[in-house]
């Protein structure tokens, strides 16, 4: 499902107009992104938690040349599914 299909499904389930659903989804994405950028996590009970995971610096290999390279530390956005979502899928 892509973004436009999600907006269609949101409109069908909520009775809202597609333009309203688009604005709501864009606002949600912006709010979650802003919270993660500040280092916060966003928890939706029954759905899951959006959080930032720290990845330590490490040594890797260039697959083409076999040369050893240093991979810098980074922060990665992550999602941990909640019990309600897990139960819905299974």
Domain boundaries, given as residue ranges, for the chain: 1-39, 41-90
Q: The domain at 41-90 falls in which architecture?
A: Irregular (4.10)
User: Among residues of the chain, what percentage have pLDDT more than 70?
Assistant: 100
pLDDT value at residue 81? 96
Q: What are phi and psi of 4, to 5 degrees?
A: -65, -35
Other beta carbons less than 10 A from residue 79's beta carbon: 13
pLDDT value at residue 29? 96
What tokens does 10 get?
A: 């949101």
Q: Is 51 exposed, middle or buried (0-12, 13-18, 19+ CB in 10 A)?
A: middle
* pLDDT mean over 38-64: 95
pLDDT value at residue 19? 95
Summarised one tens digit per residue, pLDDT across range 18-50 is: 999 999 999 999 999 999 999 999 999 999 999
């Amino acid at each position: 499902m892509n973004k436009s299909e999600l907006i269609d499904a949101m409109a069908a389930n909520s009775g809202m107009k597609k333009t309203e659903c688009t604005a709501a989804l864009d606002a949600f994405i912006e709010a979650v992104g802003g919270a993660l950028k500040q280092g916060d996590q966003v928890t939706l009970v029954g759905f899951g938690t959006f959080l930032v995971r720290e990845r330590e610096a490490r040594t890797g290999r260039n697959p083409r040349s076999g040369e050893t390279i240093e991979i810098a530390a980074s922060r990665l956005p992550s999602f941990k599914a909640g019990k309600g979502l897990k139960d819905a899928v299974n």
